[in-house]
Amino acid sequence: MPLSATAWVRKMRGGSQAHMIVAEDGHSYVVKCKQNAQHRRILVNEWAAGILLEHLGIPTAKPEIILLNDEFLSANSELKVVTGSHEKPVLPGWHFGSRVPVDPSRFVLYDYLPDALLSQVANLRDFLGALVFDKWVHNADSRQCVFFRAQIRHYSDAPATRKTGFVAMMMDHGYIFGGPEWKLEDTPVSGLYPRHLVYREVRGLDSFQPWLDLATNVPLSLLDTIGRSMPEWWLNGDRTELDKLLEGLWRRRARLPHLLEDMRNVRGNPFPNW
């Protein structure tokens, strides 16, 4: 069921011109509108990523369908999309929202951490899972995440402890499937996190377990769920093309070991210990 937006908070940085809103469940969401500055298919990609990342057990922002109705849009004129001197209105309807993992009025979220803090992130290993995902779905963008302080037992195998520390949550999946082009290409450098220290534990393909097995053994029914669970409004007649794309994704699982090995040929090999 979609959640209605109840308050507009602010415009976010970034190419899609997303907006933070509060929804009826009291949580904050970063909303990408169907009329965003990138492409309608960005919403489809974000939705698919949410389903696949949940299967892989990689922490990501919870996806929700957010209703921006006429009344809300009229009361919040900041909610529009600007390209050059042209303003595109956001149409009332269902848009994509990714839940902000903490209350942003009380806790700080960071887009980047300096290396000294990055190396202490409790779930640093999740960057290896994210790389399996990014190669599989051909994320044409680099890996993006947000960092915040949380109880580390929710994000790592740490034994029962109430210790808090920095954790990473993966987000921004608008450019999986090669972005709006919906192409699964082999480009070794894409999907990498810009700070390669997150890959220092990689010693071989085994370092990418359990995610490699989880992706390889994904049930076909999960891929079916992707197309069936999102609003038809986002697809605009793209269903046949989406089905073709998902068939490609199904076949591509077998090539994951090769796609990962190929990254060792990237200039400045991101895996110094492999």
Ligand X SMILES: Nc1ncnc2c1ncn2[C@@H]1O[C@H](COP(=O)(O)OP(=O)(O)OP(=O)(O)O)[C@@H](O)[C@H]1O
Q: Which does 171 bind (CB under 5 to 8 A by kind): ligand X, Mg ion, none?
A: ligand X
Q: How far apart are the first and last CA of the chain?
A: 46
Q: What is the DSSP letter of 79?
A: -
Interface with Mg ion in residues 162-181 (CB under 5 A): 172
Q: Which does 89 bind (CB under 5 to 8 A by kind): Mg ion, ligand X, none?
A: none
Q: Is 46 in the site for Mg ion (CB under 5 A)?
A: no
Question: Whole-number minimum distance, CB 130 to ligand X, in Å?
Answer: 14
Question: Whole-number minimum distance, CB 63 to ligand X, in Å?
Answer: 9
Q: Which residues bind ligand X (CB under 6 A)?
A: 12-16, 18, 30, 61, 98-101, 109, 111, 144, 146, 171-172, 174
Nearest to 108 by CA among 150, 144, 142, 143: 150
Residue closer to ligand X by CB (options 12, 91) is 12
Chosen residue from 14, 92, 104, 165 binding Mg ion by CB under 5 A: 14
Residue closer to Mg ion by CB (options 14, 104) is 14
Beta-carbon count within 10 A of 175 CB? 27
In angstroms, rounded to a whole number, what is the distance separating the alpha carbons of residues 127 and 130?
Answer: 5
Q: Give me the residue label for tokens 């009291």.
A: 26
> Which residues fall within 8 angstroms of residue 219, CB to CB, at 6 or more apart?
none
Apex 32 CA angle, 184 and 4, nearest 5: 130
Backbone angles phi, psi at 270, to 5 degrees: -70, -10
Q: Which does 134 bind (CB under 5 to 8 A by kind): ligand X, Mg ion, none?
A: none
Give the interface with Mg ion as residue ranges (CB under 5 A).
14, 144, 172
